[in-house]
Amino acid sequence: MLTNALTIRSENLPDNHPDLAESYHNLGWYFHEIGNYPRAGSLYDQALKIRRRIDTDEGKRLTANTLHNKAWMLANEGWEDEAEEMIREALRIRTELLGPENRDAIFSRIGLLFVLIEQERLLEATPHIGAIVSRLGNLNVDADVGKAVTQFALGMTTRNISLSQSERHLQAALLACEKAMNKDSVYVGVICCELGTTQEAQGRFPEAAENYKRAIDIGREKVDLEHPRIRLAVERYADLMWKQGKPEKGREIWREFMEAQLRRFDPAYGQVAIASYKHGVFLKSVGDAPAAAIVLENLANTIRESTASDSGYRYQTGLLGHTLNQLAICLEASDHDKNEVMQHYRDSIAAFKSEAEQSDDALPMMGWPSINLADTLIDLQNFDQAEKELELVMNVIKQTNGSERAELREYQLQTYHYLFEKSGRSEDLVATALELCRIHQGDPDELLSLAKSLCRRLKSLESTSVAEGMDSSSESTALKNTAIEILRKAKAAGLEDD
């Protein structure tokens, strides 16, 4: 019906007629609801093109409606910055025209709240919850709808503070949503997925698995697993199955989900590309590097071809770089040709470097394949080139902030440590061991690994000294004393006798 209405109106009305915009908007909403975001986005854009030209209060109100819907869609696709810009514009228009207490203005504020939650800007999100609660109470809105919205928001914003508190809010949101809609609503599935995440974080794996499975079952029943938003439940369920020693269940659900996605969408569509990447990473995690390499190589080729042909599809920052980096790791694990592996690492670095010119987010990502490349060079005993790669990483680290800076620095130090062990640089090996010891001071297994690396170098040094008649007593003493010091710290951290 919606398609027929659009066809009739487009044949009988001028290109800028408001009724034509209405048909574009309504059909866009239909495709939005069933998860066909590319089609929905195109229709919303056509509606906006007409509605923005209607310079009346009604035209502005209708523009806000389309902006609101497209913002939700963009947020679902992962384009939070654009979604925030659109939802703020919709909120501004609705507040100015209709007042802050109006139902549409409140629902745009809800949209902004969830965009902020998706971006983990929880301090900014929290004040909106109180405003929404008080204003929903003054409206003739189903109390369960209001409760589902606010309890879900509270569950998401309190997760980093208290898992038990977050779970209580999400349980309340689930009950309210089931009352307001029905037990197999897609929105019930969304809540189940987040509830499962909270339970998994508390170590309650069977309950988490049940909620993930329920979300997947709803997606299978309602949209035949073709809705991109189902991916989150698939990903978490599969990972949990792997952790519980049931990787085949994870493989099975990924296979079913990817088949469903490819029934509806082009492999080059951004959401399918992300799903393919996650699928490849899962296969790598469960130890099937060859299968993972096939998935990741096909994805890399798809992204390159799509970009070269200007297909119009967009990709999350760093997706090609991450794909090539993971592909190289998988090929290396499969004893693939080292030169091809290193070329993939270099291509990954180049992809991140290119994106860093457009987005600062891509800059830190360059560090990971650079360190992996250095690691491969060490295996090939190309120590000088490996050290140069690691030195270049320091420039990336200096421009990186927060936890990612610390993670990159730790990984770089570990690779330096490996370099110094393999190249026989005992003094540098001791220095990196002590620095890594400070980082891992509470982790007995990591400390034991450091001590063992020093012992391996000590054994190698002593063999060389005997064979060549060298005096390496001071070098040996430094290695031995440092190993003993680290072992004592490992023991204090809980290491059992080894």
Counting Cα atoms < 13 Å in the Cβ hemisphere of 117 gives 24
Domains held by the chain: number: 2
Is 450 inside any structural domain? yes
Q: Which helix (H) or strand (E) holds 473?
A: helix 473-492
Is 451 inside any structural domain? yes
The whole-number pLDDT of residue 467 equals 64
DSSP per position, 22-73: HHHHHHHHHHHHTT-HHHHHHHHHHHHHHHTT--SHHHHHHHHHHHHHHHHH
* Region for 68 from its dihedrals, namely left if φ exceeds 0, alpha if ψ lies in -120 to 50, beta otherwise: alpha
Q: Which of 242, 265, 288 is the C-terminal boundary of a domain?
A: 265
Alpha-carbon dihedral sign for residues 309, 312, 317, 323: negative
pTM of this prediction?
0.86
The whole-number pLDDT of residue 105 equals 93
Would you say 282 and 250 are in contact if contact means Cβ atoms under 8 Å apart?
yes
Would you say 281 and 324 are in contact if contact means Cβ atoms under 8 Å apart?
no
Counting Cα atoms < 13 Å in the Cβ hemisphere of 337 gives 4
Closest CA to 38 of 341, 312, 411: 312
Q: Which of 265, 291, 307 is the C-terminal boundary of a domain?
A: 265
In 214-324 the beta strands, taken as DSSP E runs, fall at none
Q: Which of 265, 290, 321 is the C-terminal boundary of a domain?
A: 265
The whole-number pLDDT of residue 48 equals 95
d(CA 213, CA 192) in angstroms, rounded, equals 9
Is 259 inside any structural domain? yes
The whole-number pLDDT of residue 132 equals 84
Is 484 inside any structural domain? yes
* Displacement of CA 105 from its chain's centroid (Å): 30
The whole-number pLDDT of residue 142 equals 64
Regions of the chain where pLDDT drops below 50: none
Neighbours of 183 (CB within 10 A): 11
Is 30 inside any structural domain? no
State the helix-helix crossing angle for 270-285 and 247-264, rounded to 10 degrees. Answer: 160
Closest CA to 395 of 364, 372, 421: 364
The whole-number pLDDT of residue 483 equals 94
Would you say 149 and 139 are in contact if contact means Cβ atoms under 8 Å apart?
no
Would you say 448 and 470 are in contact if contact means Cβ atoms under 8 Å apart?
no
State the helix-helix crossing angle for 426-439 and 402-423, rounded to 10 degrees. Answer: 150
Is 454 inside any structural domain? yes
The CATH number of whichever domain residue 189 belongs to comes to 1.25.40.10
Is 237 inside any structural domain? yes
The whole-number pLDDT of residue 186 equals 83
Is 362 inside any structural domain? no
Burial class (CB within 10 angstroms; exposed 0-12, middle 13-18, buried 19+) of 384: exposed
Q: Which two structure tokens, joined as six digits, stand for 355?
A: 């994106």
| Burial call 363-383: b when 16+ CB within 10 Å, e when fewer | bbbbbbbbbbbbbbbbeeeeb
Using CA atoms, how far residue 125 sits from 112, 113, 122, 260, in Å, is 8, 5, 5, 34
Local structure of 471: helix, strand or coil: coil
Structural domain range at position 455: 433-465+475-498
Residue type, 398: K
| Burial call 283-314: b when 16+ CB within 10 Å, e when fewer | bbebebbebbbebbbebbebbeebeeeeeebb
